[in-house]
Structure 1
Amino acid sequence: MPFGLTNAPASFQNLVNDIFADYLDILVVVYLDDIMVFSSSLDEHVKHVASVLQRLRDNNLFAKASKCVFHASSVEYLGYVVSSDGLKMDSSKVQQILNWPQPKNIKALQSFLGFANFYHCFIKNYSKKISALTSLLKKDSPFIFNEEALSQFQILKEAFTTAPILSHFNPSLPTIVETDASDYALGAVLSQVNDSGKHPIAFDSCKLLPAELNYEIHDKELLGIVWALKRWRAFLLSLSDSFEVLTDHCSLQYFMSSKVLTRRQARWEEFLSEFHFILTNAQAGWPLYQMPCHVRTTCTQRGGWISSARILKIFINFSSEMKFSSQDSFQES
């Protein structure tokens, strides 16, 4: 295939996807000419590698031995280090971030943030950590690298040295989504629990849009949940059981006294109806749907776990009878 053609990468990716269609995400991951074969045991791996090489040969494609690594427990792949433990950052790229000089202009700052953003999924509350830096990129904003910007620049660099290993997602394990909303940003953590405890799968964050900055706090909190579930929808819909959402939901008691949802809230409710999760107070550990007896009966009649959309509807339907605070409910439980 000639180099330099606009559609060459896409065409080649379609080719390898067709070649390995029945292997993809089962024993092989392919990005253009980077092929990673994974297996649960050495004996199985030998068979998988042989199958992949034979499939290439059958399609007149051949791997170059000098560019191959066989039977490795840890490999560098697309800027990450992949092992049985999970995903971690390439140490050479982390070192580049640590050695990055203080940006002197907008172009230099854009280069730094563009490079650092590649690993944003390893950094908790990444958007919050770079808020002062991104504000310098606004149109017609003077580039003044003040103490706040310098502090965030150093804090971000230090965050890369303490970033955890991100575990591989397992649909059979208990799953937790932690969300938080500040005045100007959203943050979330996807975690799973195994025999050794809770381990992060991914971190994510984003700055609120100008219109979203005007939302009431309860809408920002709910937006944080909706946004996180959208980000990890593919993971969460693959679960065989309900998952847990941890949030400071005290502000969500607004829905207990609201008999009518706004159009925006109604759209969120429709989206949330796809999922089955337990909404829990992150500080108290109190499940949001553990309500008085007559409400629990309603939940039980609907088959044990209730959907997230039903949680909001129960808030509204029983608002005239409940009239209790999160603190009171926790004490009664």
Structure 2
Amino acid sequence: MLHEFDPEALSYVDDIYLTDDEILQHLRRVSRIVVGFADIGYKFNFKKSKIAFLSVIFLGYELSSEGKSLAPHFLEKCALLQPPNTVRKLQSLLGFLNFGRTYIPDYATRIKPLYELIRPNFSSTFWTIEHTHILRELQSDLLAVKHLHTRDNKTHLVIRVIPGAVGFTYVTFNEAETVPIAYKSHLYSAAEQRFAQTEKIRTAVQMAVIKERPLAQGQRIVVSPVPALEAVTKASVPNSKALHPRWIQWATSLTATDVDYVFDPKL
């Protein structure tokens, strides 16, 4: 319904967010939305609304012309994080860190040792100096981040894939921008851990495209830097471990008409 009044506005439950470079255009859009909902019997709580602000807090993030930043209250809590001494506190800590995961490269691999501690009988004796080191590094990274960009649906979506030994990271960008939209990471399954490196790359590329296709919002997706995957077959990969159905999935994904695969380390 909101998009009938303003196709570019964002919403979550009963919150609406819209942004403009010019104040009069912004106020016209706000007026159109308010009048549109009033005509069908809805009212806005203007005491809780923020109109024509340079930045706002939306879904736990601070949004401004620079992009999307972690909200001040999140950073204040982050600065006070301490090692947990109960399983409930451990789970709470992991949930808190997960909120900022899109700001941290290779998050899934780095957080893995802390997740391995989850067990009913967890106590502070399971927590070691190494775990504290991991926590402090993640904490430091979150406190140091500036901002991420939001998606510009008028440009191509660029996905940069960075495969690793036990998992992979991919970074999303608006075309021609250097500030990321988000960092995403994933651990390989036990079966995928045994894959040849080429198979791991194909796993990473396919998953990144599937997960980020909605973010492209109808624009083309450019994936880089990947080798010429079309020429790669199961028979051509030494020590291939992936089963034939997986290879069929990979071959099918390469026929998608909305994705370009390029080998360009600069992207």
TM-score by length of 2: 0.85
Shift of 1:79: 0.3
1:187 alignment partner in structure 2: 169
Distance 1:35 1:161, change over 3 A: same
Distance in 1 between residues matched to 2:245 and 2:119, nearest whole Å: 31
Choose which of 236, 258, 261 in structure 1 pairs with 2:236. Answer: 258
Q: Distance in 2 between matches of 1:90 and 1:63?
A: 24
Q: Which residue of 2 is the match for residue 308 of structure 1?
A: none
TM-score by length of 1: 0.69
Partner of 2:225: 246
Which one-letter code corresponds to 1:215 in the other structure?
Answer: F
The count of corresponding residues between Structure 1 and Structure 2 is: 261
Counterpart CA distance in 2 for 1:266 and 1:229 is 16
Structure 2 counterparts to residues 103-122 of structure 1, below 5 A: 103-122=84-103
Q: How does 1:73-92 map to 2 (within 5 A)?
A: 73-92=54-73
Q: String of CA shifts for 1:10-66, please: whole Å, max 9, x gaps.
A: xxxxxxxx3x24145x24222222122333421211111111111222232222222
Which of 242, 266, 280 is 2:263 aligned to? 280
Question: Match for 1:22: what amino acid?
Answer: E
Deviations 1:47-96 (A, max 9, x none): 11111111222232222222111111211111011112211110211221
Deviations 1:170-201 (A, max 9, x none): 2444643221222322211112354xx51211
Deviations 1:124-179 (A, max 9, x none): 11112212111112688887112221111111101101224111222444643221
1:148 aligned residue (124, 130, 136)? 130
Q: Cα distance 1:251–1:109, how it changes in 2: closer, same or farther (>3 A)?
A: farther
Structure 1 residue aligned with 2:209, among 219, 229, 233? Answer: 229
Partner residue of 1:169 out of 151, 167, 170: 151
Q: Cα offset for 1:264? A: 0.5
Asked if 2 retains the 8 angstrom alpha-carbon contact of 1:122 and 1:164, the reply is no
CA distance in 1 between counterparts of 2:24 and 2:174 reads: 29
Structure 2 residue matching 1:130: 3-state secondary structure: helix
Which amino acid in structure 1 is aligned with residue 211 of structure 2? R
Distance 2:99 2:92 in 1: 11
Q: How much has 1:237 moved relative to structure 2?
A: 6.4
Q: Which residue of 2 aligns with 1:267?
A: 249
CA shift in 2, pair 1:237/1:46, >3 Å: closer
* Structure 1 unpaired stretches of 5+: 1-17, 288-333
The answer on whether the counterparts of 2:87 and 2:122 sit within 8 Å (CA) in structure 1 is no
* Partner secondary structure for residue 187 of structure 1: strand
Amino acid at match of 1:212: E
Instruction: Give 1:35's aligned amino acid.
Output: I
Q: How many angstroms apart in 2 are the aligned matches of 1:70 and 1:95?
A: 26
Is the CA contact (8 Å cut-off) linking 1:39 and 1:48 kept in structure 2?
no
Q: Which residue in 2 is equivalent to 1:41?
A: 22
Q: Equivalents in 1 of 2:230, 2:146: separation in Å?
A: 31
8 A contact 2:170–2:208 mirrored in 1: yes
Identity of matched residues, %: 18
- The residue correspondences of 1:190-229 to structure 2 (distance < 5 A) are 190-194=172-176, 198-229=178-209
Give distance in 2, aligned partners of 1:27 and 1:278: 29
Corresponding residue for 1:30?
11
Whole-Å Cα distance in 1 between the matches of residues 250 and 187 of structure 2?
Answer: 19
Residues 152-161 or 98-107, more deviating:
98-107
| Residues 251, 42 of structure 1: alpha-carbon distance in 2 compared, 3 angstrom cutoff | closer
1:56 aligns to 2:31 (yes or no):
no
C-alpha contact 1:221 1:251 (8 A) present in aligned 2: no
